[in-house]
Chains A and B, each alone.
Chain A
């Protein structure tokens, strides 16, 4: 039994619907058949009583005149020219006198004249008792228990004169064939209805179950990571199932956002740790480096060294300077005092990068929406801007597009730089802001790292994403907040 309930809705719904349809069809047709049987019986009795009343009037005269032949012709009359399977056709008519002797019967060979009716068997004796109990009342139906016949008893009487009784017997088996015919046509109609309803139900059940099954499959997949989105066209209604679908979609959306957030947090923390490490190392290197450069400088001024030594000293100095530059690049110092950012700063940067842009014949979309002055350190913002622009120009295709949008609303400055160059993969974007980026084809791969550090020190956010086949870098800097 349990296994039946464990079945998939794909089968359970149509099965259950089919079961209900079949049960309903059986119940309805059963009731109708019962009704047909009752109607048939009622028709039979009504027609039989009417026949009995008609016959009894004529039989009264025949009995009064002892006209046996006339009485016989009367009881024979209903048997002439009748169809064999007419269920209303009686199977016997018997006329009894008051002492239950047979006056005449429709089958004289079986029930001869003058014979005692009670002697024919217990059913006849019981019938005689029943007639006795009726005491000459109007047409009456007598149904004896366990008898194969229905009897209609009509008194043969005129006013107070009771001569006897007319008994019309009907075989119960006679209307079985008619009943079966009714039942067969009923069954046929039932089957036709089933032939229409069952496939319709099956289709409806499968259709109903399909979204549920899909939802269940998707929910099962939750354990193995983020599930796919469900096709919104799968179930576009607003019933409980529709709400379930909406909830599922919302849940998936939230899960996805959560996963993204987590990833960002990890990335941020990693970058922060790298930043701290880099700053620590830079400071540790900077101190001895300063001493070494001073020493070299002193050596160059005061020592009369031979050309080889001088050449070596130069070599060392150049190496140290390179180390210093590299360290300086790593060590982003945002806490420098600087003047406020002005609109002209942005235009200066535009002028600065223009030659590089011309070299690649780029089309540049420019939108500077900045007020005259903003309380942001001009040097740092310029550096961010230059880095982003140079990166974009470098990544853009020949004859490609570079876009730049500077927006300011109440408390945030937004810088958006786009290019139509090669799009970055998710994997590449994960490590985009790390120092010594492998993506950098020229330079030391510190540009984005420095930009990231500056943006963070200014309390802003930087993000890279792909939008409409463009690579988009966006920086948001809070204005007026204590950096």
Chain B
């Protein structure tokens, strides 16, 4: 028997075997690479209008700070609606994200709670019901029947869910109560819409309004806070469930450790926050309760 007389079937089997070997060897090699912590793959962090994400200079400084701390490239992906950031998380295009508490409850199955910012020392915020400063009469959202109302985002708690829940509790149908409602896709723009008189009223994140009152006081001066909602858990930093424990802990540590070095402190001061802390997802149970009232969840 010599090679030349090898039957065709045998030759095919040999070739197939060789290819399988090659494929296995390549797969093992790539698998081994994937197991290593990847120093050069960037950390993808989603940012939403849960805070003043359009302070671009501040964002760039914060990104560089995180890069230095993580010793890895950091990419910020900013989207103007919660929906888009939620989609990016579902599609695993993000490792971490700073989202609103309402989307967090929505995405509970896909994300883990990483850290909760501390605002005025505590992990809570509220919804402010605001009207133009030129209107001194309104004392309750219920007085705005058939008027124009500005919501922030359909996945915002303080800018959508909370005011609707208040109407719901008062026995009104939030879908028909106002003459016209619209979304501005950001809390800052809710303040603008009310300040310009485009809307007769609006619901806004207390953290955003308070921060604006510091960085842009002439804008908030054109609005008046009529009522403040109960406290809700502050919009959290979340990690996608696919993020490894090591990576999770490293980033958690970096965030929480921002209070311990001057650069981190300076950034926190400009973000108008006191720091980050771990917390229990139970913090957001009140949001889940409101969602249940509207038949969501």
Contact = CB atoms under 8 A, between A and B. Distances in A.
A113 B180 contact: yes
Contacts, number: 34
B168 interface: no
Among A67, A69, A109, which residue has the most Cβ atoms of chain B within 10 A? A69
Interface string B145-162: 000101000000000000
Contact of A67 (B134, B179, B180, B182): B182
Contact of B185 (A69, A76, A108, A113): A69
A69 B148 contact: no
B180 A72 contact: no
Contacts of B241: none
A108 B198 contact: yes
A378 interface: no
B192 to A, nearest CB: 9
B179 A66 contact: no
A76 to B, nearest CB: 8
B134 to A, nearest CB: 7
A80 to B, nearest CB: 12
A443 B206 CA distance: 148
Contacts of A277: none
B73 to A, nearest CB: 33
A143 B198 CA distance: 28
Interface string A65-77: 0111100100010
A68 B193 CA distance: 10
Contacts of A104: 198
B281 interface: no
B189 A68 contact: no
Interface string B248-260: 0000000000000
Nearest to B190: A69
A112 interface: yes
A112 B193 contact: no
Interface residues of B, number: 15
A114 interface: yes
A68 B148 CA distance: 11
A68 B150 CA distance: 10
B220 interface: no
A72 B198 contact: yes
A66 B183 CA distance: 10
B134 A109 contact: yes
B196 interface: yes
A67 B189 CA distance: 13
B197 A109 contact: yes
B48 interface: no
B182 A68 contact: yes
Nearest to A67: B182
A68 B134 contact: no
B184 interface: yes
B184 A114 contact: no
Given A69-B182, A108-B198, A114 B193 contact: no
Nearest to A105: B198
Contacts of B189: 69
Interface string A46-82: 0000000000000000000011110010001000000
Contacts of B150: 69
Contacts of A108: 196-198
A114 B198 contact: no
Interface in A95-130: 104, 108-109, 112-114
A114 B199 CA distance: 11
Interface in B134-148: 134, 148
Nearest to A106: B196
B148 A72 contact: no
A113 B148 contact: yes
Contacts of A112: 148, 197
B134 A66 contact: no
B19 to A, nearest CB: 53
A105 to B, nearest CB: 9
Given A69-B189, A104-B198, A109-B134, A114 B148 contact: yes
Contacts of A67: 182-183
B24 to A, nearest CB: 52
A68 B185 contact: no
A69 B183 contact: yes
Nearest to B148: A113
A72 B134 contact: no
A217 B148 CA distance: 93
A68 B196 CA distance: 13
A72 B197 contact: no
A312 B185 CA distance: 168
Contacts of B132: 109
Interface string B177-216: 0011011110001000100111000000000000000000
A68 B149 CA distance: 11
Sort A-B residue pairs by CB-CB distance and give the 7 closest, nearest first: A68-B182, A109-B197, A108-B198, A69-B184, A108-B197, A113-B148, A72-B198
Given A69-B193, A113-B148, A113-B198, 12 more contacts: A68-B180, A68-B198, A69-B150, A69-B184, A69-B189, A72-B198, A108-B196, A108-B197, A112-B197, A113-B180, A114-B148, A114-B179
Interface of A: 66-69, 72, 76, 104, 108-109, 112-114
17 contacts: A67-B183, A68-B182, A68-B198, A69-B150, A69-B189, A69-B193, A76-B196, A108-B198, A109-B132, A109-B134, A109-B196, A109-B197, A112-B148, A112-B197, A113-B148, A113-B198, A114-B180
